[in-house]
Amino acid sequence: METVPTVDVALNPPPGERPVPDSRLLRGANARAMVAIGVHGLYVAWLVALFAGEFIGYALPDDLVIQAADIGLSLGMLVAFLFWKWSAYRLAMQFSADPLESTPGWAVAVYFIPIANLWMPYTRVQEVREVLEDSGGALEYGRSAAPSHGFVLAWWLLWIFAPITVNLLGLGDPSGVSYAWVIGVGMTLASNLFSMALVLRMNEAAQQLAASRGAEVPAPLFG
């Protein structure tokens, strides 16, 4: 007589029956996560240097130089983040036994679609997070490193409202440091730090989950 699988086995199949992602995708996602975190870190360092220089009255570069550097670093952050997002979504498709709601290309394209870019990028990140978290029962190392739902929501709110705040209040004040300037810098810093943490934790969760399924994973980003 054939044994009927228990509910627990049906919901959490043995590791050998779970999808194992391609090691090349894992290495690519890990590399893109490193680049995204590094570029965001450069921008954070740049912003802290500007803030410190303005605060202590140090002579800053011309406005044109500051604006050019800010635009260049901002574009670099966006490109690096979207490349990582494409890899993360593609990896989630391999982790999940069920089809996801979108594709890696559309997970990136929604950032450039007016109106839809106010919530669709957030839902795609949450979808990846849920794939990693729902598979957490397979982990040998305890709880998944995936960020919580609230953390992703906080990241997205900062992503949306930090630029709006900066445009409304401005980052510069010829008369010196102002409350508006400090708020603008503070929100921009918080947004970038949350983005760095999001990439780090999502990547760690993916690599951790892959290792629990027997995949060959690259070295961790830190440690």
Per-residue pLDDT tens over the stretch 21-51: 778 888 899 999 999 999 999 999 988 887 7
Distance, CA of 152 to CA of 213 (rounded, Å): 25
Report how far residue 39's alpha carbon sits from residue 80's, in angstroms, rounded to the nearest whole number: 7
Is the predicted pLDDT of residue 65 greater than 70, yes or no?
yes
Cβ-contact 34, 221 below 8 angstroms: yes
Find out whether 54 and 176 touch, Cβ atoms under 8 Å: yes
Give Cα 28 distance to the centre of its chain. Answer: 15
| Residue 193 exposed, middle or buried by CB count within 10 Å (0-12, 13-18, 19+) | middle
Lowest-pLDDT choice from 2-11, 56-65, 137-146: 2-11
Give the Cα separation of 214 and 20 in Å (integer). 7
- 130 burial via Cβ count (<10 Å: 0-12, 13-18, 19+): middle
